[in-house]
Chains A and B, each alone.
Chain A
Amino acid sequence: MNEIIERMQALTIPGPIPSAISAPFWDATAQGRFELQRCDDCHRWVFYPRNHCPHCWGSSLHWQPAQGRGRLKSFSFVHRPGHAAWQSVAPYPVALVELAEGPTMLSTLLVTSEDQASLRIGMPLKVQLVRVGKFTLPMFVLSDEEA
C-alpha cells in the first residue's frame, strides 16, 4: 500500500484549480479532513461544491465533516491515460465512489492491477488523503468496515 501511495505522490499531474466556492474542500484535505457541503434547507449533502443546493436551490450550504466512507460504484484500470502525466503508474484504477452521504465522486483507487480480480461493485471503501504536488487528493482504499 505504501508503495502505491509513494508512486502517486511522485506524480506531476494537472492539479485542481479551486474557486472561492470550492477552496474550503481543498483547505480541509490539506489539513487532514474530508468535508462536504450540506444544505440547511433540505439537509441533503452536496458534491461537488456549489453556492446553491442543486436539490432544492437553497442558498445556505455549510461545510461539515463527512465519514470518508463509501461504496465502489464502478471502476476502470486505465492502460492508456488521456494525460501523459499518468503514464508512469498505468495501468491505474479510477473509481466512482458512492459516498455514505449520498453524492458520488470520481477518485483514484489505491490498489494494484493484481488486485483487480478481487474488486467487487458495492464493496466498502474509505478515504485516504494523498499529497500530490500542491494539493491533497482524497483517494480511496478498500475497507473491511461496512459504509
Chain B
Amino acid sequence: MNRRSMGAIVGIGELKPQRKTQGATTLDMIAQVVRLAVADAGLEKEAIDGLLVGPQVGETPQHVPATVCEYLGIQPRMSNVVDLGGASGPGMIWRAAAAIAAGMCEAVVCVLANTREEEASRSPNRNPIREFDVPFGASGANISYALPMQRHMAEYGTKPEHFAAIAAWARHNAQYNPDAIFYGQPATVSDVLLSPIVASPLHLYEIVMPVAGGEAVVVVSAERARSLNQRPVHLLGAGEKLTHRAISQAPTLTSGPLKPSMSQAMAQAGVSVRQMSLLSLYDCYTIMVALTIEDAGLCKPGQFGHWIESHRLGFDGDKPLNTHGGQLGFGQPDLAGGMTHVVEAVRQLRHSAGNRQIRNADLALVTGNGATVSEAVALVLGADA
C-alpha cells in the first residue's frame, strides 16, 4: 500500500523534570531542549529555519517567536505561537509539516518549556528588551524607528523632506477614502516637517495615529472561489522572515527582513516588482516605507530620496502606493492595521476601488512588519485572469 508522508519526526529532546527551578528563565529552558533535539536529529543549527513555540505569559507577552529566535541566534523563515493548551504539542507537528509542504521552510523546531520558580515574577515582562533597553529610556516603538531613520540620513544623505513626502502622499491618498481618519485633512511636506518632533528625526505626522477598528479576510481555495460571488484575488507568492526583537540587535539598520521575504514572494509568483500595479506597503512610520522601497528593489540601497522625488504615489500616479491612505492616512487599528494593506489590495484587484481605482490593476505587493523592523511577511496578490 502506498503511503504519502506529510512529514517525519527526526529528532527529540527532553529535560529531566524538576519540582522547582531556581533562577531559570523560559528562554533558557527552550534553548537547552532545542539543542538536545537538534543534536538528536544530527542537524546543525543553521539548518533550522522554522520555529513553533508556545505562549510565554509573564515573561514575554508578545513577539514570542522573535524573542526566541533572537535568543537562539536563528533566523526562521516561518514561525508561530501555537496556543492550544494541552494540544499545543501535537498541533505543532502538523503545522510544521504543512509549512514544509508549502515551501515556507525546511526544518522546523517545535518547542514547549516552562519554569517553576519559588518566587513569583516581579514584573509581567522580564525578557531581554525589558532588561537592557527600557532602563535606558527606550520605551515604546517610536525610538526603534527613529534610530534606523537617523542612520539612513547619515549613511545616504536622505533628507527629512524625503521621508515627509511619504506622509504627505498618505494624507493625499486619504482624501479619496471617506473612511480614513485623515479624510478632509491633507498635509503638505512642510506641514509634516512643522509637526512636533517626537523622537528625532521622526515628526508627529510621520507616525501612525492609533484608532479602534477591525479588518477581516476570508480565504478559500481557487477552485472553491469559482462558485462564489466575488471576483477572486489570488495569493501568488509569500515570504516571511524574523531576524531579531530589539532594534539594538538588528543585523543592519538600513535594510530589513522584508528584503528576503519580498524576494521569496515574488520568486514564487514569478513576477518582478516593476510589474506591480499597487504597492500596499506597511507604513507604521515613514522610514518603514523607505526601507521597504529599497529592499523591494524599486531603487538601489540608499536611493529612496531620489526615488520619492521622481514618482507620483496616487492611484493615478506611476507608482500607486497605499491608495487607501496607508496607516499614516487611514489610521492604525492596532494589529488590524497590517490587514488594511491586504483589504485595499483586494479592492484594487477586484476593480471595486471606486473613485480611487487603479486602471487595469493586476498585481499587488503587500507587506507586513512587526516589532523593530524585525518580523516580516510579504505577499504577492493577483487579479483573477
Q: Which residues of A contact B (CB under 8 A)?
A: 13-22, 48, 50-55, 57, 59, 73-83, 86, 89, 91-92, 94, 96, 104-108, 116, 120-121, 132, 135, 137, 139
Give Cα A105 to B136, complex, Å: 10
Which of A57, A78, A105 makes the CB contact (< 8 A) with B73?
A57
Given contacts A18-B131, A19-B126, A135-B135, contact A82 B248 (CB under 8 A): no
> Is there an interface contact between A108 and B137, defined as CB atoms closer than 8 Å?
yes
* Pairs of residues from A and B, 6 with the lowest C-beta to C-beta distance, nearest first: A82-B140, A20-B23, A54-B73, A82-B139, A76-B146, A121-B154
List the interface of chain B (C-beta within 8 A of A). 22-25, 28, 31-32, 35, 45, 70-73, 122-123, 126, 128, 130-143, 146-148, 150-151, 154-155, 196-202, 246-249, 253
Q: In the complex, what residues of B have CB within 8 A of residue A79's CB?
A: 196-200
Q: Which residues of chain A are near B200, meaning CB under 8 Å?
A: 76-79, 91, 116
| Central interface residue in A50, A78, A89, by most chain B CB within 10 Å | A78
Give every chain A residue within 8 A of B31 (Cβ-Cβ).
50-52
Name the residue on B nearest A106 (C-beta). Answer: B248
Q: In the assembled complex, which residues on chain B have CB atoms less than 8 Å from the CB atom of A17?
A: 122-123, 126, 130-131
A7 to chain B, nearest CB (A): 12
* A74 and B151 contacting across the interface, CB-CB below 8 Å: yes
Pairwise interchain contact B35-A16, C-beta atoms closer than 8 A: no
Q: Cβ of A54 and Cβ of B71 under 8 Å apart?
A: yes
Give min CB distance, B131 to chain A, whole Å.
5
CB < 8 Å neighbour of B135 from A15, A54, A74, A96 = A15
- Chain B residues with CB under 8 Å of A75's CB are 147, 150
| CB-based nearest A residue for B137 | A86
Do A80 and B147 contact each other (CB < 8 Å), given the known contacts A16-B135, A18-B131?
Answer: no
A142 to chain B, nearest CB (A): 16
- Interchain Cβ contacts within 8 Å, total number: 140
Whether A78 pairs with B135 at a CB distance below 8 angstroms is no
From residue B158, how far is it (CB to closest CB) to chain A in Å? 13
A17-B131, A52-B31, A96-B248 given; A139·B136 CB < 8 A = yes
Whether the pair A94, B137 counts as a contact (CB closer than 8 A) is: yes
B126: chain A residues at CB < 8 Å are: 17, 19
- The residue on A at minimum CB distance from B146 is A76
Beyond the given pairs A19-B126, A80-B196, 15 more chain A to chain B contacts, judged by CB atoms under 8 angstroms and listed by A's residue number, are: A15-B135, A16-B135, A17-B123, A50-B28, A54-B71, A55-B73, A73-B253, A75-B150, A76-B202, A78-B146, A83-B134, A94-B136, A94-B137, A106-B132, A121-B155
- When distances are taken between beta carbons in the complex, the residues of chain A under 8 Å from B248 are 96, 104-106
When distances are taken between beta carbons in the complex, the residues of chain B under 8 Å from A13 are 135, 137
> What residues of A have a CB within 8 angstroms of the CB of B249 in the complex?
104
Cross-chain contact A107 with B154 (CB below 8 angstroms)? no
Chain A residues whose CB sits within 8 angstroms of the CB of B45 once the complex forms: 57
Taking CB atoms, residues of chain A closer than 8 Å to B71 are 50, 54
Q: Chain A: which residue is nearest B31 at the CB level?
A: A52
* A135 to B136 CA separation, bound complex (whole angstroms): 12
* Residues from chain B with Cβ under 8 Å of A135 in the complex: 135
Contacts of B35 in A (CB 8 A): 52, 57, 59
CB distance from B340 to the nearest CB of A (A): 24
A99 to chain B, nearest CB (A): 11
Set of chain B residues within 8 Å of A76, measured between Cβ atoms: 143, 146-147, 150, 199-202
B144: shortest Cβ distance to chain A, in Å? 9
Bound state CA distance, A135 and B131, in angstroms?
Answer: 11
Distance in angstroms from B126 CB to nearest chain A CB is 5
Supposing A20-B23, A76-B143 touch, asked if A81 and B137 sit within 8 A by C-beta, the answer is: yes
In the complex the two chains form, is A108's CB within 8 Å of B154's CB?
no
Question: Which residues of B lie under 8 Å from residue A92 when comparing CB positions?
Answer: 137
Cα separation A92 to B139 with both chains bound (whole Å) = 13
Residue numbers in A under 8 Å from B198 (CB-CB):
79-80
Task: Tell me the nearest residue of chain B to A122, going by C-beta.
Answer: B154
User: What is the minimal beta-carbon distance from B302 to any residue of chain A, in angstroms?
Assistant: 14
